[in-house]
Structure 1
């Protein structure tokens, strides 16, 4: 399924009210994976996003990965504003290495005594969930990780101290849905470890490592299943000899529950084209995003070259079986540009997916909305319908028990 399906579904001239009416009508009658709507990015920002049930309007970002943004944290979407570098406070640092994102967190969220006396420096945002942010910190040429609570701007502490300094590109992390745990993928530094990378699971309250496992492939990616507090993840290339695979894994003992040995049916290895792995809001679908290999910065600016090809593979999260592949093209760089430029976003109800694409005969950035299958229990299907009828800010005001409010906000087990 790709951009060629857009020809019959252009509703870009509609006003926001017409878009909402047509979207509800279309979504009721359409089959899963059908194209529901198409518009320009400008129209998306000017009301089409809200009318279609989406909160996210920032679909492009000029930031560069590990300079302005990180793979999981967009400076544009999170509203991080660059500090004025003409200030004398920056004179003691080499400005070409001091990134906008590190600049913001180091001078707004790290206590002064840690930066000045204990010599802590921020390298990047590793991951975040709700109001919790995990930072990649460096002290005396050694990597460790810091926890920040943004709700009260409190620095919680550090954990995972390493004996060497890692580059940002070598690290990946994710906080569990309940906010109590974190899994990090880092290079192995143990002499007796033949693997180049390991997964380490940490308790964020005690900041102690719970367990570790060596990885068969350095490019393995993972994501927590939102239906479980912290006990299950999806991981790519997790098993030996299964370079192009998707596995469902129990985190308590790293037991593999199910495996799909062919994540991408066009390649023999996922490196370096696999860019991200994540679940749908309800946890019933898994998405793996593959991007054309190589730097395409020149293509993004001049458009004298072909755009990059993006493939979004979708899987059943109960058995890891392939359900669909959505393919489209985009004038951006999958290696250096912020992932916001090519990753899909999801509606408030979780049943619609929006992507930005480019067509060969147009200079306009088009946005398309597809209907996703509604899976799982009757309770989950009712949630989708309720979320389509109410905006996210209205949900907490509904005369419902707190547990049901949490369920509607996609946090049923840990609200």
Structure 2
């Protein structure tokens, strides 16, 4: 049951009279379709989405280095002006030691944005340093360094929900697009931020050596150390090595990185490249964006489909085909995007003239009064304001889907 939007005001927001308590779209049906050039933070927040604001900041981050290893981080706000986020020095908070940056700084960028931390990548002449910074206090929490021989190993990083763990791997697409190189680093590093260092716990080896985009990684927001990896071959998580079984097919793995223990595995149901994965805010589903990647040097990408899986059983729930033309690189990481109360998912092919479709998701938590109240509160309150509500800590955790009452 879709809603007509052709006669609405600019922004394709339907009038309030279009909604009644008895007119709820069926699960997996389209609610509204919005041109992608109108999908701005204000409109996204109207529909109950928060991720757009985080992406808006991370896309326009600018890092500048001052003398004596002092850094300043700014971001481009909606008005087009640069706004200071934080500044920090290379003195680590826990130990008091100063992280030395020897050599010429070739590149500075923010590769991870979290509600508590940011990860700044510093490309030096012979090494790469990752600086984990508490952007609210402007303090350096930990560092991690590794060396390279020829081309810089541009990284992509994913913090855990509480910011204590980091999953780090090479951003092969960016490296190949910028430097036209075909070599790769297939290691997925599991780091733990403690005592001023990012301690490497173990390494997972990605088996898809052609593009290193064949595995998706996503933290389950309900558990601080539980992560799901959708890989192209069976992996032994506890040893960080690929299985020698030639008959092993693509699989999904759930494991606890704190205990270094494989919890569950299941077969994946895709034979295409995986660009990225994303969990719903309540952790009930995770979605996989599958793409068609050109093997040529221009790295053309077109979106193939979006697959939805149950986070507990790891079984497929739904597949939405999105065959389209060449997608813009800036749009691909945006989708799928889930609303705060897991009512809607926003999907798009990422083409310049494509539309953003809002799809109704099946209800998961409307079984009692507590869940209904949480659904209403979260739907009307952006995530950045949840902690500021005048409620006990247990209720705040309940609104974040961290505990059950």
TM-based fold match above 0.5: yes
Q: Deviations over 1:237-263 (max 9, x none)?
A: 352354522221222454333323233
Q: 1:49 to 1:244 in 2, by over 3 A?
A: same
Q: 1:149 to 1:182 in 2, by over 3 A?
A: same
Q: Which residue in the other structure is 2:205 paired with?
A: 215
Of the candidates 157, 160, 167, which is equivalent to residue 183 of structure 1? 167
Q: 1:148 to 1:31 in 2, by over 3 A?
A: same
Q: Distance in 2 between matches of 1:116 and 1:251?
A: 30
Whether 1:147 and 2:129 are equivalent positions in the alignment is no
Q: By how many angstroms is 1:289 displaced?
A: 0.6
Whether 1:246 and 2:238 are equivalent positions in the alignment is no
Q: Does the 8 Å contact 1:33/1:373 carry over to 2? A: yes
Whether 1:132 and 2:138 are equivalent positions in the alignment is no
Q: Distance in 2 between matches of 1:255 and 1:46?
A: 39
Q: Does the 8 Å contact 1:259/1:319 carry over to 2? A: no
SS in 1 for 2:394: helix
TM-score, normalised to structure 1, is 0.68
Q: How many correspondences in the alignment? A: 350
Q: Does the 8 Å contact 1:246/1:263 carry over to 2? A: no
Q: Which residue in the other structure is 1:262 paired with?
A: 268
Q: CA RMSD in A?
A: 4.4
Of the candidates 299, 318, 326, which is equivalent to residue 320 of structure 2? 326
Q: Distance in 1 between matches of 2:223 and 2:165?
A: 12
Q: By how many angstroms is 1:372 displaced?
A: 1.4
Structure-to-structure mapping, 1:281-300, within 5 angstroms: 281-294=281-294
Q: Which runs of 5+ in 2 are unaligned?
A: 67-74, 77-81, 92-97, 172-183, 236-242
Q: 1:297 to 1:20 in 2, by over 3 A?
A: farther
Q: Distance in 1 between matches of 2:386 and 2:261?
A: 37
Q: Which residue in the other structure is 2:228 paired with?
A: 233
Q: Deviations over 1:308-338 (max 9, x none)?
A: 333111100001100011222455446xx22
Q: 1:211 to 1:35 in 2, by over 3 A?
A: same
Q: Which residue in the other structure is 1:13 paired with?
A: 7
Q: Distance in 1 between matches of 2:199 and 2:51?
A: 35
Higher strand share: 2
Q: Does the 8 Å contact 1:143/1:165 carry over to 2? A: no
Q: Does the 8 Å contact 1:286/1:315 carry over to 2? A: yes
Q: Which residue in the other structure is 1:408 paired with?
A: 399
Q: Which residue in the other structure is 1:80 paired with?
A: 60
Q: 1:21 to 1:299 in 2, by over 3 A?
A: farther
Q: Deviations over 1:55-99 (max 9, x none)?
A: 4567xxxxxxxxxxxxxx85x543636699xxxx9xxxxxxxxxx
Q: 1:407 to 1:24 in 2, by over 3 A?
A: farther
Higher helix share: 1
Q: Does the 8 Å contact 1:295/1:333 carry over to 2? A: no
Q: By how many angstroms is 1:288 displaced?
A: 0.9
SS in 1 for 2:348: strand
Q: Which runs of 5+ in 1 are unaligned?
A: 59-72, 90-99, 188-194, 301-306
Of the candidates 286, 308, 311, which is equivalent to residue 314 of structure 1? 308
Q: Does the 8 Å contact 2:28/2:360 carry over to 1? A: yes
Whether 1:163 and 2:147 are equivalent positions in the alignment is yes
Q: By how many angstroms is 1:9 displaced?
A: 4.2
